[in-house]
Amino acid sequence: MYVARNPYKTDLHALIRENYRQVFFDKEVEGTNLPFHLEREFKKYLTCGIPAYGLARFHCSCCQKDKIVSFSCKGRTLCPSCTGRRTADTAKHLLEEVIPAVPVRQFVLSMPYEYRFLLATRPEFLRKALAIFHRTINHHYQKKAKTADLKNPKVGAITVVQRFGGALNLNVHFHTIYTDGVFHENYLGEEVFREFIPTHEEVVILTSILKKRLDRLKFREETIDSDAASLSQLQAMSIQNRDEKFRRPIPIGKMFDSDFQEFRGTRCSYDDGFSLHANVKILGSQRDGLERLCRYILRGPIAKDRISYDDSGKVKLKLKSPYADGTTHLQFTTDQFIKRVIALIPPPRQNLIRYIGVFGARHKKRSVITGMAQPKKEKIKKKVYRTPWAELLKHVFKYEVNYCDHCGTKLELIATITSRYVCQKILNHLRLPVHEVNAVAPRAPPEFEYFDQTPEYF
């Protein structure tokens, strides 16, 4: 049976509603005015999945039972449910409508700390660095196609800009899915695919080329913009995995101090802080593996099952993979955790998914190439921007949520309700819990009034 999520009872929700206003208040007292979209992200998350703030009511005409579905916040960072839905929806879209059944390869580019800071604070630097990355890889494939005398070679790529690391630190890097070869015209004028597999030596050469070009770009760029100055300190400390007092999170399970070891492997290169990994390949017939890869690069930064309170009131983050020194968890104070999350929230209206080459919206051959992604279907008069919620749950969890759990009859939508007063009446009538989110007000600093006056009894 379908069981609606209850974010109000999770440790993440309690952590946000009890502490986020205090962090924003402290920054305001210090004279730092954080951008408005940051607090809006927190407010939206606190009402996500809470039926008292809006719901859709479904009714079964056979057994006369109701099903309540809460509204979502559609956030991009804080809400694990909304980022999970966005991940599954976008991966399904890429699989069915964009990427054809050809071999693809994942390229992951990571850069040193100073580059990460510029990538996080300057959208123009991010755009130029991403353009350099794409031009370098595109030229590699096109050069190999020209040596094979292919006519009009074309490359396609999809890049996801990830802003987080495993410790919730700010780490802007690029995950790119490239067609492992080129599309070219045959003697009949048709678009066909030719595979070109890069060697380990070629990946090493590509890393050195990227380092030189990105170094020249950094030398030409100026300092950060004044618009990002209010966030610069939080972001700079998050990149270095520290807080504003230069303290690192406390490791749990650490057994010894391990030295830095350069990652080595086939088609993986490291050059003075620049690393390029290109050893993950998906064949054209492995569509399930391609969908898993898309979900991996599109995932959100926060998983509610990895965040918990410990006995001392600190926040404990479970690492996805233990460190080489044995560390399995990281311990934060509540202020440290909230500030880490603030640094991860992307600027508004910044697209984190970029379509390059034949997958770009303006490419002449895009409709031809993307038409190979799936068999032809009947044309739909009205294009649906998002996959409907019921269809997405069926695709991911193999569950028919729009049917009654008791008799199997298809449910009917009665109404979508946004009035808090009406929502509470419906929930009380159905004997469901009504959770009203009340964020804890910040505690003002102590004020010492009349400190220069002498008491009367002296």
The per-residue pLDDT for range 169-187, each reduced to its tens digit, is 999 999 999 999 999 988 8
pLDDT of residue 173: 94
The pLDDT tens digits for 100-135 are 999 999 999 999 999 999 999 899 999 999 999 999
* Overall average pLDDT of the 292-305 stretch: 92
Under DSSP, the state recorded for 455 is P
Looking at the chain, the whole-number percentage of residues with pLDDT higher than 90 is 41
pLDDT of residue 447: 58
- Give start and end residues of each alpha helix (H) in 122-277: 123-147, 200-220, 229-239
> CA quadruple 421, 423, 429, 432: dihedral positive or negative?
negative
> How many of the other CB atoms lie within 10 Å of CB of 403?
16
Give the Cα separation of 40 and 53 in Å (integer).
16
Angle among Cα 103, 107, 110 to the nearest 5 degrees reads 170
In this structure, are residues 42 and 76 in contact, taking their beta carbons and an 8 Å threshold? Answer: no
Inform me whether the pLDDT recorded for 454 exceeds 90.
no
The pLDDT tens digits for 181-207 are 999 988 888 889 999 999 999 999 999
Nearest residue to 433 via CA among 421, 424, 446: 424
pLDDT bracket for residue 223 (50, 70, 90): low
Lookup result for tokens 């199997």: 408
pLDDT bracket for residue 451 (50, 70, 90): very low
Helix (H, G, I), strand (E, B) or coil at 343: helix
Under DSSP, the state recorded for 140 is H
Query: Which DSSP helix (H) or strand (E) runs through 195?
Result: strand 191-195
* Overall average pLDDT of the 208-214 stretch: 95
The pLDDT tens digits for 233-266 are 888 888 888 887 778 888 888 877 777 677 778 8
Helix (H, G, I), strand (E, B) or coil at 271: strand
Amino acid, single-letter form, for residue 217: L
Beta strands in 18-88 (DSSP E): 55-59, 66-70
pLDDT of residue 457: 44
pLDDT bracket for residue 226 (50, 70, 90): very low
- How many CA atoms lie less than 13 Å away from 99 in the CB half-sphere? 32
pLDDT of residue 290: 94
Inform me whether the pLDDT recorded for 449 exceeds 60.
no
Mean per-residue pLDDT over the chain, rounded = 85
In this structure, are residues 32 and 232 in contact, taking their beta carbons and an 8 Å threshold? Answer: no
Inform me whether the pLDDT recorded for 229 exceeds 60.
no
The pLDDT tens digits for 390-443 are 677 666 666 667 777 778 788 888 888 888 888 888 888 888 888 888 888 887
pLDDT of residue 159: 96
pLDDT bracket for residue 156 (50, 70, 90): very high
The pLDDT tens digits for 4-53 are 788 888 999 999 999 999 999 988 888 888 888 899 999 999 998 888 88
- Both tokens of 5, joined, read 């999520």
Give the Cα separation of 25 and 32 in Å (integer).
10
* Overall average pLDDT of the 330-347 stretch: 92
Residue of 61 and 125 predicted with greater confidence = 125
pLDDT of residue 244: 78
The pLDDT tens digits for 66-100 are 888 888 888 888 999 889 888 988 999 999 889 99
Nearest residue to 106 via CA among 281, 339, 251: 281
Which pTM does this prediction carry?
0.87
